[in-house]
Amino acid sequence: MCKENRSCFPPPGRPEHRDEIGFQVNGLSHMIKWLAHQYGGRDGEPSGVGIYGWLIGFLYDNRDQDIFQRDLQKQFAVRRSSMTGILQSMERDGMITRHPVPWDARLKKIVLTEKAVQRHEKFRQAIAEIEAKLSAGLTAEEKATFIALCEKIAKAIRPEQGGSH
């Protein structure tokens, strides 16, 4: 966490970096991570904000379907190795289990545990509070424009879309 006499936010960069998309996105990413840490679990458990919360929310919303690691990789634009590490950590924390499917022994569907289902409401509340802070100074049109621009940039840089990476 942040030290008492140091700011959690990145220091202001050189003025010439203000017009760089990567610089701005990186700064926002750090600030959002800091904000997410402010919503840590009061009961000693992680709040679930961040990738855990998003994964659990996606699995919860799609619990009537078989979801596999590749589905999560695609949904969250995360590399296989990164998703493997995240899922292993979630399994160790008792948030998910993996079950083989009868038609392909290589595939393991990902299933939320009861612990994860119980934590789901807490995750949703924290995410909603963070989202409210993030969009508080934006009009609905500005928010829609920001999201559209982020999607356009993401599409351009995804390797499968022909972007550079």
Burial of 121 (0-12, 13-18, 19+ CB in 10 A): exposed
Give the integer Cα–Cα distance in Å for 91 and 96.
5
- pTM of the model as a whole: 0.56
Q: Give pLDDT tens digits for 119-152.
A: 887 777 877 888 999 999 999 999 999 999 999 9
Other beta carbons within 10 angstroms of residue 102's beta carbon come to 6
Note down pLDDT in tens along the chain; length 165 residues.
455 444 555 555 556 788 899 999 999 988 888 877 777 655 556 555 567 778 998 999 999 999 999 999 999 989 999 999 999 999 999 999 999 999 998 899 999 999 999 888 777 787 788 899 999 999 999 999 999 999 999 999 987 644 444
Q: Which residue has the tokens 């982020």?
A: 150
Point out which residues pair with 104 in neighbouring strands. Answer: 101
pLDDT of residue 1: 46
Interatomic CA distance for residues 87 and 12, integer angstroms: 35
- Find, among 66, 50, 140, the residue nearest to 108 by Cα: 66
Phi and psi at 109, nearest 5°, equal: -80, 150
Check residue 163 and report its DSSP letter: -
DSSP per-residue codes, 52-73: HHHHHHHHHHTTTS---HHHHH
